[in-house]
Amino acid sequence: MQLIGYSNEIWQKRFFWMSLVKADLRTRYRHSWLGIGWSLMHPLAMTGVFCIVFCKLFNADPVTFGPYVLAGLAFWNFLSGVTSDGCQCFFQGERFIRQQPAPLAIYPLRITLGMLIHLAMALAVLLVFVWVTQGFGNYRVLWSLLPTMVLLFAFGWSVTICMGMMNVVFQDTQHLIQIIIQALFYITPIFYPSKLLRDHNLGWIADYNPLARCIELIREPVLYARLPSMECVAIVSMTTFLLSVVAIVLLRRMEQRLIFYL
């Protein structure tokens, strides 16, 4: 099957994209004093700000509300990373695309893996914070974070491919997507409790929003010591599946022709 051959080609180039992922992590913070710590500063600082304001407003306890917000922001940084950097992935890879034929999906892969590493670091901080402040009720459910990461990886890779392709054809995508992501930020329960939505008959925003469900995959085991619901897993898996179908179709159509758009 074609898909297997394609995956095989990607695997054969693994040293190439792996070394680029490493380089991205290193050069991004090359001249900074805090280094890779900056990737954590953003969600931590934002969590601090949200806590100061909303703990008063919602009458919430910072010890539980802090990790709640941090889990949301960690995912959101991942999402905004794969969408905004994803838009640039083929332009960034142009110098290699013009040199040597290689499967195009490796350029989105490079972005996704970088973002996934940042996500993993944010999650590590979250885990340590929760462990220190309240401890875990159930250690075993934490293993569910592993399949969650795999799912989010597939989700992110598909999003990056779609964004990259769209942005190559319509350069307006990169600006449009920023507005969309900003809008989605407010209708996803990140810095307000999802209970608040239900109290105001807006529960459907939390229920049918796949992004909210992605965050739920993280919050359920870490904050509430239980496995994410089947419904939640199903919604995220379905979304990922649909996105990956779109990504594969786009790759099929554009793999050969992309070079004419660069």
Partner 1 sequence: MIRLQLENASLAFTVRRHKRLTLKEFLLRGMFRRSVNPYMTVNALQEINLQLCDGDRLGVIGHNGAGKSTLLKTIAGIYPLTQGRRTVNGRISSLFDIALGFEPDASGWDNIAYRGYLQGETPKTLAPKMQEIAEFSELGEFLDMPVRYYSSGMIVRLGFSIATSIEPEVLLVDEVLSAGDQSFQDKARERLAQMIDKASVVVIASHDLKRLPSLCDQVLWMDHGRIRQIGPADEVVAACLDESLQPQNKAA
Binding region for partner 1 (CB under 8 A): 12-13, 15-16, 19-20, 23, 27, 30, 95-102, 169-173, 176, 256-257, 259-261
Q: From the CB of 245, what's the least distance to partner 1, in Å?
A: 23
Q: Which is nearer to partner 1, 172 or 199 (CB)?
A: 172
Nearer to partner 1, 174 or 240 (CB): 174
Q: Minimum distance between the CB of residue 20 and partner 1, rounded to whole angstroms? A: 6
Report angle CA 240, 243, 244 to the nearest 5 degrees. Answer: 85
**Among residues 14 and 226, whose Cβ is nearest to partner 1?**
14
Residues 6+ apart with CB under 8 A from 160: 82, 83, 85, 86, 89, 108, 109, 111, 112
Q: Minimum CB separation from partner 1 for residue 262, in Å?
A: 11
Cβ-based nearer residue to partner 1, 33 or 260: 260
CB of 11 to partner 1, least distance (A): 12
Q: What residues contact 85, with CB distance under 8 A and at least 6 apart?
A: 111, 114, 115, 160
Tokens read off for 171: 């350069």
97 versus 214: smaller Cβ distance to partner 1: 97
- Candidates 187, 191, 155; CA nearest to 78 is 155
Q: Is 228 exposed, middle or buried (0-12, 13-18, 19+ CB in 10 A)?
A: buried
Shortest gap between Cβ of 86 and partner 1 (angstroms)?
17
% helix, strand, coil for the chain, step of 5: 80, 0, 20
